[in-house]
Amino acid sequence: MEHLSFFYGEKRALEDISIKIQPNMVTAFIGPSGCGKSTFLRTLNRMNDIIPGARVDGASASTATTSTAPAWTWSRCAARSGWCQKSNPFPKSIFENAAYGIRINRMASSKSELAGRVEESLKQAALWTR
């Protein structure tokens, strides 16, 4: 991020944030309610784009790329970088919820591979019982 500011209409929610985020490390954002943690995360995967009147100044790796390269559609950004505030499953089966990300990212080449990855994911989350 370089000099990132974010506005909800007239109201500035993020002010001139510059930060390097290290690859393959866990990074934590800590602060009081309303300080802008969620806004910051939504800026990274462009979930703020759908809020009327919202606007970004400065650049994040993803917003810079997306604003200059038309190939970087909103949906492509969102597929690469997801987040959830409250887990909220889609109104589909558990299998289809677990399969969703694998499908949209074309990460399985066959039905059996998809089923295997869903099973593996559910086991890792302790959600698989026989």
Ligand X SMILES: Nc1ncnc2c1ncn2[C@@H]1O[C@H](COP(=O)(O)OP(=O)(O)O)[C@@H](O)[C@H]1O
Residues in contact with ligand X by the rule CB under 6 A: 8, 13, 31, 33-39, 51
Which residue's CB is nearer to Mg ion, number 38 or number 121? 38
Both structure tokens of 86: 């409250």
State the binding partner of 72 from Mg ion, ligand X, none, CB within 5 to 8 A by kind: none
Distances (CA, A) of 40 to 13, 57, 102, 108: 9, 12, 26, 31
- The residue number with the shortest CB distance to Mg ion is 38
- Quick one: what does residue 100 bind among ligand X, Mg ion, none, with the CB cut-off 5 to 8 Å set by partner type? none
At 66, list the tokens: 């997306």
Tokens 């597929």 sit on residue: 79
66 binds, among Mg ion, ligand X, none (CB under 5 to 8 A by kind): none
Taking CB under 5 A as the rule, does residue 121 contact Mg ion? no
Span interacting with Mg ion, options 14-22, 38-46, 51-59, 121-129, rule CB under 5 A? 38-46
Nearer to ligand X among residue 63 and residue 118 (C-beta): 63
Question: Which token pair is 49?
Answer: 């784009």
54-59 and 11-17: which strand pairing?
unpaired
